Amino acid sequence: MTRPYRLLFSAGEASGDLHAAGLLRSLRQRLPGVLARGLGGPKLAEAGALLDLAYGDLALIGVAEVLSKLRKVRRALGTLEKALTGCDALVCVDFGGFNQRLAKRARKRGVPVIYYICPKVWVWWPWRAAGLGKLCDLMLVIFGFEVELWRAHGVRTVFVGNPILDYLPEPGPPGDPKRIVLLPGSRIGELKHLLPVMLGAAEILKKRDPALRFVLPSATEEIGELTGTRLTRLRGDRLVERVTGDYHAQIARCGLALVASGTASLEVACLGVPQVLVYRTGLLTSLFARAVIRHPWIGLPNLIAGEGIVPELLQARLTPANLAALAWDLLTDERLRVSQREAGLALRGKLGGSGAAKRAADEVANFLGGRRG
């Protein structure tokens, strides 16, 4: 009797947990009996993985944040390295800095490395991509333009499409321009840096138009508790309403989003909701980013479009007054909103269609089968 495949997953944040779960579910259909364990969250566990570690506050942003929790990161790497014993492959899902370190350990142990949803190396210097490329046996990318980049580094690379199309609803009519959604991110560092600025901008906008409503949905219960605690601490709950129910439906009802750079910004664009994209990290991370980032944009909508279709406010430029000003421009100019909505909806055609998790599972199954012979 053939031994079932054993996989170690490493998904260190909420979006990675979601996509890892989708991949595992599809893998179970293709390879019944496959065993999975590793680092993840509630969705990966629901999909059938045994969690050696829950991602918790490993979901970090920036150099300084990583340095402040270096001991915890090392312990997590040690735990997962032990769990690699007997595994047929390591499956990394995004979470670049941590997973690159884990991939090095897997490589030393002779465990092949599969990367699903690679980090955004196209905004880094080439040496960073080259380093990661040497560690990977199979790269499953979610943007078509990534294929050439990885193949140039000698990595077997397949474009499987973007998994957000597997769960995003079809776009409906434009949302209510008096209803503004705040999406400050899912990580502790993001909430610390971004939520106070968003609340400051909301106060400015509310004074200009008392009819405006501000809502804050949460993709998971855990994120909801985290943002709720932070919102109460900042006394923002008197201005912002926490809403429950279908996360993406809540976003689609809104006429404008103030959103942290990341997967959420692409989801918002593909739902046809105009946005102002924001990001801020600590000083050390900012200095590092200036030294290595080579692209004029950091937001996924702009990177995929190849042009600045949504405004970005980053680092020192991100102030309540500046954010409120850009938001007000969109709220008061229907042509701007329509233009951005159309550009965002057009991104759907560049994401490869639905079924990304199934295509990724097929590639993983073929890879494993080829190694076993």
Same-domain pairing of 147 and 189: no
Backbone phi and psi for residue 38, each to the nearest 5 degrees, phi listed first:
130, -145
| Model pLDDT, residue 64 | 47
User: In Å, how far are 115, 178, 186 from 336, measured between CA atoms?
Assistant: 38, 15, 28
Same-domain pairing of 142 and 259: no
Nearest to 172 by CA among 250, 252, 247: 252
Reduce the DSSP state of residue 250 to 3 states and report it. Answer: helix
| Model pLDDT, residue 61 | 46
CB 191 within 8 A of CB 218: no
The three-state DSSP-derived secondary structure of 293-325 is CCCCCCCHHHHHHCCCCCCEEEHHHCCHHHHHH
- Cα(17)–Cα(39) distance, integer angstroms: 9
167 within some domain:
no
- Cα(223)–Cα(257) distance, integer angstroms: 18
Same-domain pairing of 99 and 195: no
Question: Residue 141 pairs with which residues in a beta bridge?
Answer: 159
- Cα(7)–Cα(4) distance, integer angstroms: 10
251 Cβ contact list (under 8 Å, min separation 6): 181, 183, 217, 257, 267, 268, 271, 273
168 within some domain:
no
Same-domain pairing of 91 and 180: no
CB 369 within 8 A of CB 288: no
166 within some domain:
no
Reduce the DSSP state of residue 48 to 3 states and report it. Answer: coil
The secondary element (H helix, E strand) that includes residue 182 is: strand 176-183
- Cα(42)–Cα(40) distance, integer angstroms: 7
β-pairing, 157-159 with 50-54? unpaired
Same-domain pairing of 204 and 148: no
Nearest to 294 by CA among 133, 134, 128, 136: 128
145 within some domain:
yes
Among the residues of the chain, which ranges form H helices?
Answer: 14-30, 42-46, 62-68, 70-83, 96-108, 126-133, 146-151, 188-208, 221-233, 247-252, 263-270, 283-292, 300-305, 320-332, 334-346, 356-372
Same-domain pairing of 74 and 44: yes
Same-domain pairing of 124 and 261: no
Same-domain pairing of 108 and 184: no
Same-domain pairing of 109 and 47: yes
170 within some domain:
no
Same-domain pairing of 157 and 195: no
115 within some domain:
yes
169 within some domain:
no
Domain, as residue range, for 29: 6-161+355-372
Q: In what order do the strands lie in the sheet with 157-159?
A: 50-54, 35-40, 6-11, 89-93, 113-116, 138-141, 157-159
- Cα(189)–Cα(191) distance, integer angstroms: 5
| Model pLDDT, residue 9 | 98
Same-domain pairing of 37 and 87: yes
- Cα(185)–Cα(228) distance, integer angstroms: 12
| Model pLDDT, residue 236 | 86
Q: What is the CATH number of the domain that holds 252?
A: 3.40.50.2000
317 within some domain:
yes
Q: What total number of domains does the chain contain?
A: 2
Same-domain pairing of 274 and 359: no
- Cα(200)–Cα(215) distance, integer angstroms: 14
pTM to 2 decimal places: 0.86
pLDDT tens for the chain, residues 1 to 373: 688 999 999 998 888 999 999 999 999 999 999 999 999 999 999 999 999 999 875 655 444 455 556 788 899 999 999 999 999 999 999 888 889 999 999 999 999 999 999 887 655 555 667 788 899 999 999 998 889 889 988 899 999 999 999 999 999 999 999 999 999 987 777 888 899 999 999 999 999 999 999 999 988 787 888 888 888 888 888 899 999 999 999 999 999 999 999 889 999 999 999 999 999 875 444 444 444 455 678 899 998 999 999 999 998 899 999 999 999 999 999 999 999 999 999 999 999 999 999 999 999 999 999 887 6
CB 356 within 8 A of CB 163: yes
